[in-house]
Amino acid sequence: MEMSQTAIILVLVISGIVVGVINTLAGGGAIISMTLFMTLGLPISVANGTNRIAVVLQNFTSTIAFLRKRLLNVVSGIKLSIPAVIGNIIGSMVATHISDTIFTICMSVVLSVVLIYMIFDKSANKRKIPDGHPLELRWWHFLWFLLLGFYGGYIYIGLGYVVLAVAIWSMGLDIITANVVKCFVIFVATPFSLIIFMMDGQVDYAYGLWHGLGNIIGAAFASHFAMSWGGKFVKYFTIVVLLVCFADLVGLISLQNMLHGLLTSF
């Protein structure tokens, strides 16, 4: 049975809220967004471009909240954003439909490594809450963010986890500060790839904006309460999301089938 416009809008907004919370505290929500868009009938290239609208709105909301809490050093954020923007533009210009096999292997490796680290890293619970101080940046950090920008422009899915991995391991940040950096850099870089997808006619504005509205609500909620929940909660929340994403990638569950079943129930 074909869904009504009201039902589609409701699903887009509610799923956007969930994705906004997931992406603000952890990452991997783009898998849900992309799956939803394709289930609603968008080609993968259009789903990839449309997803950027929600990404921009969600990370803008999170960034504003983190700035108001003085958790973000803007100068450090801008320095990391410059190479990310360059990489993002290049990645968007060469974006194609990546092989499902290659994507599954790469994402499984990334999720496995981050998951193992999150489970066995005991220092995250002892780190102090960040105070927005300047970050100690080295030349290789800029190289990392150039590569991260390219990946974000190319396909984006899983970008949040890769940024977290680089920020935690290479820069020695706690998980909350890493999330703050992640949201700011993605917010600054993603509009450039969105423009490229818009110029290529690969954006569905209605779906993107309704889903983006939900992302704003979810991001505002998560960024507001993240500090009171503390690093320990964020860590375990991230582990749960990682496990779900990994199970989907290796075929233990199917987020697409779950979403399809949900949509057909309307």
Residue 218: the pLDDT is 92
Residue 29: the pLDDT is 79
DSSP result, 85-114: HHHHHHHHHT-----HHHHHHHHHHHHHHH
Domain count within the chain: 1
Q: Which helix (H) or strand (E) holds 5?
A: helix 5-25
Choose between 106 and 154: higher pLDDT.
Answer: 154
Most confident of 171-180, 208-217, 248-257: 208-217
Q: Which of 244, 246, 232, 32 is nearest to 118 (CA)?
A: 232
Cα–Cα distance, 156 to 83 (Å, whole number)? 16
Choose between 244 and 99: higher pLDDT.
Answer: 244
Structure confidence by residue, pLDDT tens digits, 54-100: 999 999 998 998 888 888 888 998 999 999 999 999 988 876 555 55
Residue 146: the pLDDT is 95
Q: Tell me the CA distances in angstroms from 121 to 118, 125, 161, one per residue in order.
A: 5, 9, 16
CB atoms within 10 A of CB 219: 31
Residue 228: the pLDDT is 66
Cα–Cα distance, 6 to 117 (Å, whole number)? 42
Structure confidence by residue, pLDDT tens digits, 186-241: 999 999 989 988 988 889 999 999 999 999 999 998 887 765 666 677 777 777 87
Cα–Cα distance, 67 to 253 (Å, whole number)? 38
> SS3 for 155?
coil
Q: Is the four-CA dihedral 14, 256, 262, 203 of positive or negative sign?
A: positive
Residue 226 · residue 61 · CB < 8 Å: no
Residue 205: the pLDDT is 96
Start-to-end Cα distance in the chain: 8
- The range of the structural domain enclosing residue 191 comes to 5-264
Structure confidence by residue, pLDDT tens digits, 99-139: 556 666 766 776 677 677 667 766 555 444 455 667 888 88
Q: Which of 114, 111, 119, 126 is nearest to 231 (CA)?
A: 126
Residue 103: the pLDDT is 60
Residue 162: the pLDDT is 82
The C-alpha angle with vertex 37 and arms to 157 and 25, in degrees rounded to 5, equals 45
pLDDT at position 145 over 90 = yes
Residue 1: the pLDDT is 45
Cα–Cα distance, 263 to 217 (Å, whole number)? 21
- Using CA atoms of 47, 246, 108, 142 in order, give the dihedral in degrees to the nearest 10: 70
Residue 231: the pLDDT is 63
